[in-house]
Structure 1
Amino acid sequence: MANITAALVKELRDKTGAGMMDCKAALGEVDGDVEAAIDWLRKKGLAKAAKKAGRVAAEGLIGIAVAGTKGVLVEVNSETDFVARNEQFQDLVRSVAQVSLSTDGDVEAVKAAAYPGGATVADAISSAVATIGENMNLRRAAKLEVSAGAIGAYVHGSVGEGLGKIGVLVALESTGKADELAALGRQIAMHVAAANPQALDAAGVDADVIARERGVLAEKAAASGKPANVVEKIVESGLKTFFKEVTLVEQAFIHDPSKTVAQAVKESEGKVGAPIKIAGFVRFGLGEGVEKQESDFAAEVAAAAGV
């Protein structure tokens, strides 16, 4: 039997919004497995959905750079937000993003790329660590490119040109007007920053995620006592709703919720002067998936004092 700690209960509550006692009961039912507890709560109708991203924990900056029909995102982490406000660190992140344009977007390729002044990106980061006195690293990078069209870009929580807490790139394939495409791409990038879709369309959603959602829907529907054929219809209807929530093209467009993103793109083709296809998108939220160790200052003092 797993030890159900207060920290586990808090983590589950943060991810689901369920009540404390419900979270404790769920963890007890699944031997302390948080992900299984999320499903347990959802099956009982006590949680809306699993919040996959978790809370942002790492410090640093997201850097973005666009040149013509290609764009890159990089995430450079630091130990404290104080360093993220340092001009030297900001220049480093901005330069790493610019250098990344000449690579395929692979992190190791970016680290090995030539940095202004003759060193590599990895060398530049090491030098910054020595100068600033705080550990930092290039955590991830991504690149989008189209043969014809535009790359839309948006930075949220901006602290300077091309730098912020959330960065988004959207690739639009089209032979239409580049300036109109770039403006549309920026609007869609803003939508991605706010709505955080999991995939471009239903075909892009991970099969395991779909299977998990199907299982939750099926068990919840079956618990109502409905016959199998009705349960299946409920499940299929639930999956359609799920895809509307998590796929970019089916989400309600934040700039005009009366239409989907796909409909907004279609309507823009007249202004652009050619068909438009969303070729892909990338969204980096600072510190996604990185757990920062939290300290209890009072407990630390008590421990140091031998209390």
Structure 2
Amino acid sequence: MADITAAMVKDLREKSGAGMMDCKKALNETAGDMDAAMDWLRTKGLAAAAKKSSRTAAEGLVGVAVSGTKGAAVEVNSETDFVAKNDQFQQFVRDVTQVALDGAGDVDAIKAATLPNGKTAEDTLTTNVATIGENQSIRRVKRLEVSQGAVVAYVHNQQSAGLGKIGVLVALESAASNDALQALGKQLAMHIAAAFPMALNEEDLDADLIERERAIAAEKAGESGKPADIVAKMVDGAIAKYRKEHALVSQLFVMDGKTKISDVVAKAGKDAGAEIKLVDYVRFQLGEGIEKEASDFAAEVAAASGVPQQPAPVN
């Protein structure tokens, strides 16, 4: 049997919202596998749908920049939130975001590009690590461009212009006026920031993710005791609902809670007198998908001072 620690139980409880004893049982049932334990809780109806990747687990900034029909988003990570407030770090994020906007489509291309200071981004990053005193890294980048129309940006929890915790880009292909595209793009970007779609269309959803959801739905439906044909329909219904809720175009618009995003775009095109196509989007949330090691500040201070920390009393 796997050694289930109190820290593991606490971590699962924070991720799932389930009770402590249920979390401990889930970990015991799954030999300490955190993802499997989350799925076990969900099959028992003890946890809401997991959006593990939406949890902020690293510090730094997301930068976004747009210019007409193109836009770019970059995530640069640091060890603490203090660095995100550092002018030197913020300028670096702005510079590498501009490099991405100008054409660098991956992290390696950004690192090799020359910044306004005359040094490459990689050399500048090395200098920043030495002078600021924290490890930093360019984690990811995505660039969008349309032949006609606009790419619209939105930053949630903005730290300063173009920098924040969540950065969103929306690519709209259309001959409609820029004012109409900017208005629609801003609304869609705010929706994306809040609703966290996993793909543009239902068919774009990750196949492995769908199969995992199907397995969960099948186990839950199987526990109902209903005939096999009814169970199969229950599973199909659950997957259809999951697809609609996680694909952007079929999500319900957060502004009214009843209109599909595809219908919002269609109406905007009709009002603008020109068809508008939502061709792509980017949603970067700082630290999503990164597991961050928990830090015990008291233990760190004790270790640094050479004074052993006294164990906490057990109630």
| TM-score (normalised: structure 1) | 0.95
- Give the Cα–Cα distance (whole angstroms) in 1 for the partners of residues 88 and 194 of structure 2: 29
Residue number in structure 2 paired with 1:85: 85
Q: CA deviation at 1:228?
A: 1.2
1:192-203 aligned within 5 A: 192-203=192-203
Q: CA RMSD in A?
A: 1.6
Residue number in structure 2 paired with 1:107: 107
Residue number in structure 1 paired with 2:238: 238
Residue number in structure 2 paired with 1:156: 156
Identity level (%): 58
Residue number in structure 1 paired with 2:269: 269
Identify if the C-alpha distance between structure 1 residues 179 and 295 changes in structure 2 by more than 3 Å, giving closer, same or farther: same
Residue number in structure 1 paired with 2:186: 186
- Give the Cα–Cα distance (whole angstroms) in 1 for the partners of residues 192 and 240 of structure 2: 20
| AA partner of residue 282 (structure 2) | V
- Give the Cα–Cα distance (whole angstroms) in 2 for the partners of residues 127 and 134 of structure 1: 11
Q: CA deviation at 1:244?
A: 2.5
Q: CA deviation at 1:302?
A: 5.4
Q: Deviations over 1:55-98 (max 9, x none)?
A: 31222111111011110001112222222112222122111111
- Give the Cα–Cα distance (whole angstroms) in 2 for the partners of residues 259 and 271 of structure 1: 16
Residue number in structure 1 paired with 2:98: 98
Q: CA deviation at 1:189?
A: 0.8
C-alpha contact 2:250 2:262 (8 A) present in aligned 1: yes
Identify if the C-alpha distance between structure 1 residues 126 and 298 changes in structure 2 by more than 3 Å, giving closer, same or farther: closer
1:305 and 2:269 are equivalent in the alignment: no
SS in 2 for 1:66: strand
Larger CA deviation: 205-214 vs 127-136: 127-136
Q: CA deviation at 1:176?
A: 1.6
Identify if the C-alpha distance between structure 1 residues 33 and 297 changes in structure 2 by more than 3 Å, giving closer, same or farther: same
1:1-307 aligned within 5 A: 1-53=1-53, 55-300=55-300, 304-306=306-308
Identify if the C-alpha distance between structure 1 residues 197 and 115 changes in structure 2 by more than 3 Å, giving closer, same or farther: same
Q: CA deviation at 1:132?
A: 2.8
C-alpha contact 1:103 1:113 (8 A) present in aligned 2: no
C-alpha contact 1:167 1:283 (8 A) present in aligned 2: yes
Q: CA deviation at 1:15?
A: 1.9
Q: CA deviation at 1:292?
A: 3.0
C-alpha contact 2:59 2:77 (8 A) present in aligned 1: yes
- Give the Cα–Cα distance (whole angstroms) in 1 for the partners of residues 274 and 54 of structure 2: 40
SS in 2 for 1:262: helix
Q: Deviations over 1:117-162 (max 9, x none)?
A: 3221112222323333332221111111111121121001111111
Identify if the C-alpha distance between structure 1 residues 287 and 121 changes in structure 2 by more than 3 Å, giving closer, same or farther: same
- Give the Cα–Cα distance (whole angstroms) in 2 for the partners of residues 84 and 201 of structure 1: 34
Query: Where does the alignment leave 5 or more consecutive residues of structure 2 unmatched?
Result: 311-315
Larger CA deviation: 191-200 vs 249-258: 249-258
Q: CA deviation at 1:54?
A: 5.4
C-alpha contact 2:72 2:101 (8 A) present in aligned 1: yes
C-alpha contact 2:54 2:285 (8 A) present in aligned 1: no
SS in 2 for 1:173: strand
- Give the Cα–Cα distance (whole angstroms) in 2 for the partners of residues 49 and 216 of structure 1: 10
Residue number in structure 1 paired with 2:313: none
Query: Where does the alignment leave 5 or more consecutive residues of structure 1 unmatched?
Result: none
Q: CA deviation at 1:42?
A: 1.4
- Give the Cα–Cα distance (whole angstroms) in 1 for the partners of residues 98 and 221 of structure 2: 51
The count of residues paired between Structure 1 and Structure 2 equals: 307
Larger CA deviation: 176-185 vs 189-198: 176-185
C-alpha contact 2:12 2:23 (8 A) present in aligned 1: yes
- Give the Cα–Cα distance (whole angstroms) in 1 for the partners of residues 302 and 100 of structure 2: 47
SS in 2 for 1:62: strand
Q: CA deviation at 1:2?
A: 0.5
| AA partner of residue 283 (structure 2) | R
| AA partner of residue 224 (structure 1) | S
| AA partner of residue 163 (structure 1) | L
C-alpha contact 1:152 1:183 (8 A) present in aligned 2: no
SS in 2 for 1:117: coil
